[in-house]
Amino acid sequence: MVNYASHSIEALSRIPGGLARLAEEFKVRPVDTISHVANSFPQTRVEGELLAGTTSIFASILANARQGRAFETAALQAVQLLKNKSMVNVLGVGRSIPDSLIRGVTEIKSGLEIDNSLQLRVHAAHAMSQKIPFNLVVAPTTRRISKDVRDAVRLSGGTIQRFDSTTGKFGPFP
């Protein structure tokens, strides 16, 4: 393991411009940057597994995040809403940044399953406290939305819409 660490540090030190440049590259192209760094590490086995294989998990997570941001951007453009940057804080629940605070609280999700996460509980509670709708926009690939989330949207007077970013069309979620 010590040998792996010294080889890893050596690999990182060969990055042109050092870690500051790596950080800047990561902001611009996270998946490519992780792939580049992962490929520069020695292929060392740790307890029978290739350690470099772990980075492919992170690359998948980042690719999913990039796809989610692209879906969010397309949905916001389709409904002509600006991306919100303001945090809402609900005492006793938590704080979060909804995707939009125009025409209610709108959250955009592209996951297969949407559960009653802390983020969504904060958004629903904020909508209820302000007496505004809590709206949810989901991808065509979304298969399940928890009953708690569906109830929170309904109780606030909001809607759940399915958005297809390839066609630009909205429809109801079953």
Give the mean pLDDT of 11-32: 64
The domain tally of the chain equals: 2
Q: 107 vs 2, 27, 46, 83, CA distance in Å?
A: 46, 24, 41, 10
Q: 153 vs 23, 92, 105, 128, 136, CA distance in Å?
A: 39, 20, 10, 10, 7
Residues 90-139 have pLDDT tens digits of: 999 999 999 999 999 999 999 999 999 999 999 999 999 999 999 999 99
Instruction: State the pTM of this model.
Output: 0.67
- Looking at the fold, whether 58 and 85 belong to one and the same domain comes out as no
Q: Which of 44, 72, 100 is the last residue of a domain?
A: 72
- Looking at the fold, whether 68 and 145 belong to one and the same domain comes out as no
- Looking at the fold, whether 165 and 117 belong to one and the same domain comes out as yes
- Looking at the fold, whether 58 and 122 belong to one and the same domain comes out as no
- Looking at the fold, whether 166 and 109 belong to one and the same domain comes out as yes
Residue 35 is predicted with a pLDDT of 65
3-state DSSP call for residue 43?
Answer: coil
Residue 152: give the domain boundaries. Answer: 81-172
- Looking at the fold, whether 56 and 99 belong to one and the same domain comes out as no
Q: Which of 21, 53, 72 is the last residue of a domain?
A: 72
Q: Helices (DSSP H) in 2-50: which residue ranges?
A: 2-13, 18-28, 30-40
Tell me the average pLDDT of the chain: 82
The model's confidence at residue 50, banded by pLDDT at 50, 70 and 90, is low
- Looking at the fold, whether 105 and 159 belong to one and the same domain comes out as yes
Residue 62 is predicted with a pLDDT of 74
